């Protein structure tokens, strides 16, 4: 299965940050490992400019969240159709920061994933346990329940990606053991009949990318902090 290395810029970056994209495009043009796809998900404000910059390069662009409707009276929201209009190919849905900051439930995440597919884009559906849930031995059951509640109802046949992101590993420098990542990815793999990519996310850096990407059923990475600088992100895309 191809690997997908996706960068999530979160609420970081103004137009000045597009120089990092130009630098990444130069690096990828020199050498993009076989069977590897690269995706950048900047704030909504930069999706259009980034998509224009990346057009024809093979580097893809996506949104970080979308509304479940395609248009309407939802001040401040952006729809998947609008991202499609800008040239995006993916939308991240159900990131733990949105589940926590905006109270997004599995049902809300499912509606957003379905809206993303309806717009012709691929949702990256995020699941992950908290530290308390892991310490209570509930990590596998929590992520499988989240996935079951968040998957589009008619998922089969339509493209989607799953991202396993333990909440306690995001932005902390902490990473689960190889065995713990393998256990969750195996359980997620068994939870879906579709041959989907399952990404790992949470403190992925150039220094740990080779090890993480070699774990069975890990088909790529969702990268936050280390995706902001071209050199670091490329170090994950093409780890040396």
Q: Which residues bind ligand PGA (CB under 6 A)?
A: 8, 165, 170-171, 201-204, 222-226
CB of 153 to ligand PGA, least distance (A): 25
Cβ proximity to ligand PGA, 202 vs 220, nearer residue? 202
CB of 71 to ligand PGA, least distance (A): 28
Cβ proximity to ligand PGA, 81 vs 146, nearer residue? 146
Beta bridge partners of 62: 90
The sign one gets for the Cα dihedral 201, 203, 205, 207 is negative
Cβ(78)–Cβ(67) below 8 Å: yes
Q: Which of 20, 104, 114, 165 does the annotation list as catalytic? A: 165
CB of 88 to ligand PGA, least distance (A): 17
Structure tokens at 116: 């993303």
Bridge-based pairing state of the strands 161-164 and 197-201: parallel
CB of 162 to ligand PGA, least distance (A): 13
Q: Which residues have a Cβ under 8 Å from the Cβ of 91 and sit 6 or more positions away?
A: 62, 63, 64, 65, 66, 80, 83, 112, 116, 121, 122, 123, 124
Instruction: Examine the residue annotation and report whether 186 is marked as an active-site residue of this protein.
Output: no
Instruction: Examine the residue annotation and report whether 95 is marked as an active-site residue of this protein.
Output: yes
Q: Which of 20, 95, 129, 185 does the annotation list as catalytic? A: 95
Cβ proximity to ligand PGA, 106 vs 232, nearer residue? 232
Cβ proximity to ligand PGA, 41 vs 54, nearer residue? 41
Cβ(94)–Cβ(104) below 8 Å: yes
> Active-site positions?
95, 165
């Amino acid at each position: 299965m191809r690997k997908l290395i996706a960068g999530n810029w979160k609420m970081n970056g103004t137009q000045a940050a597009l120089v990092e994209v130009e630098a990444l495009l130069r690096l990828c043009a020199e050498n993009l490992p076989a069977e590897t796809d690269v995706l950048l998900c900047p704030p909504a404000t930069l999706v259009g400019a980034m998509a224009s910059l990346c057009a024809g390069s093979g580097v893809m662009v996506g949104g970080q969240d979308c509304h479940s409707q395609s248009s309407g009276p939802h001040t401040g929201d952006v729809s998947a159709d609008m991202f499609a209009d800008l040239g995006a190919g993916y939308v991240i849905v159900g990131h733990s920061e949105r589940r926590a900051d905006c109270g997004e439930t599995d049902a809300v995440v499912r509606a957003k994933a379905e809206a993303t597919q309806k717009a012709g884009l691929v949702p990256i559906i995020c699941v992950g346990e908290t530290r308390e849930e892991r310490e209570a031995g509930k990590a596998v059951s929590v992520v499988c329940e989240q996935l079951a509640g968040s998957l589009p109802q008619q998922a089969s046949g339509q493209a989607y990606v799953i991202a396993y992101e333990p909440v306690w590993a995001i932005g902390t420098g902490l990473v689960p053991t190889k065995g713990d990542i393998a256990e969750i990815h195996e359980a997620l793999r068994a939870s879906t009949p579709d041959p989907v990519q399952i990404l790992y996310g949470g403190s992925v850096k150039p220094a740990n990318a080779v090890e993480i990407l070699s774990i069975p059923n890990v088909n790529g990475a969702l990268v936050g902090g280390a995706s902001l600088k071209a050199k670091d992100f490329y170090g994950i895309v093409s780890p040396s």
